[in-house]
Structure 1
Amino acid sequence: MLKKASSIKEALKSPQVRDYSYAILFFLVSSFFAFFVIRPVLSIAISLRKEGIELQKINETYEKNIAAVLKIQANLEEIRPRKQVIDTALPSQPELNGIIKDIRSAAAQEGIAVLSLSVSGIEIKSDKPPERIKPNSIEAEIDINADFNQLNSFIHAMTNQRRIKTIKALRVRRELSTGSEQQVKLHLTMNIETYYLPDLAEN
């Protein structure tokens, strides 16, 4: 046993054994350091990188939204001087008298005599706030004396007015007027759809 113990001591004193011992000890220390120090640091670094990417995406989204808001604000500032024109084209009330005035004005512009004019399809305003913007449909029935060229010019003149209007239906009946001078009489029935934007602040 003494010989074995002394041989072990001699072997431990060998340079090769000491080198192996140092190598094993270095490996154990490195493993401990890698597991308990480097690994948490890497986890934190990866987590921070992910958070950085997410924050970058959020910043890009914010920048896009801010750019969109600034664009809308610029558009509003651009149209602000023309607000009166917009209010005329899309008023907050039906303003049926304005529609009648537009029809008579277009007829007078083309030298057309309006024999009769009636408007129907008027919707009484409800106290309930509108859920969405709906067009206000108005049917105008007109008796005029005109030829077809005047009628064509009359329609173009009316649709070129500031107030937004859409001609949904147009019925023309040609008649021959009685009298000393025969004139072409057109009985015109027109369905006009107009639009208005209710002022939600008033509801």
Structure 2
Amino acid sequence: MAQQGILIVISGPSGTGKGTICRELLRSNPHLKYSISATTRPPRVGEVDGVNYLFIGKNQFTTMIDNGELLEWAEVYGNFYGTPRHYVLDQLNNGYDVVLEIDTQGAMKVKDNFPQGVFVYIIPPSLDELADRIYKRGTDSLDAIQNRLNCASGELSLAHNYHYIVVNDQVAAAVQKVETIITAEKYRAERNTDLIDSLCHTKCTCNEHWVPSSK
């Protein structure tokens, strides 16, 4: 029987590069799947249903909430976003690892509903470096950048709720750290109880008259 996959939840303040890390993980690990969020907002230009998001109506989203079909959900600017439980569990049961990139609030909801997940928090080398990265993106005003930095300070105070902290000083190094975490998690004793039980209940078929050779 294949070992059940691992759910890896990755969070971090805006600008830390968590999205880049996730893309690199997916590119280099064919055994890793990405959890696509469901949303009630309309698709933007270039977005594809089932690739970028699962685009659904509010009534369907509400039904999913009522039926416990979401690992987490939130309302943002009048639209709903959530993580479908069915897709994640199906992939895990088929032996695939699943990565979920999500904010801290959503991650803590996932942790309540799926505590066996692995929670990784990405941080920048410094707030100055974080500000420089956001500024270089060229997508935010100075006021927006300052607001993001203020939010980052608050989010960083919640990092102790995660299992691992990874500093993204260089993307390749950060990706390697996360890959090391995933590998180590696969060898945790509680993830290998079936293997131990199988060994304990397997009858040895060696020759009962076998005598070890003397040295």
Shared fold per TM-score greater than 0.5: no
**TM-score of the two chains, using structure 1 as the length reference:** 0.19
**TM-score of the two chains, using structure 2 as the length reference:** 0.19
Quick check: which has more Rg, 1 or 2?
1
* Structure with the bigger percentage of helix: 1
RCO comparison, higher one (Cα < 8 Å, 6+): 2
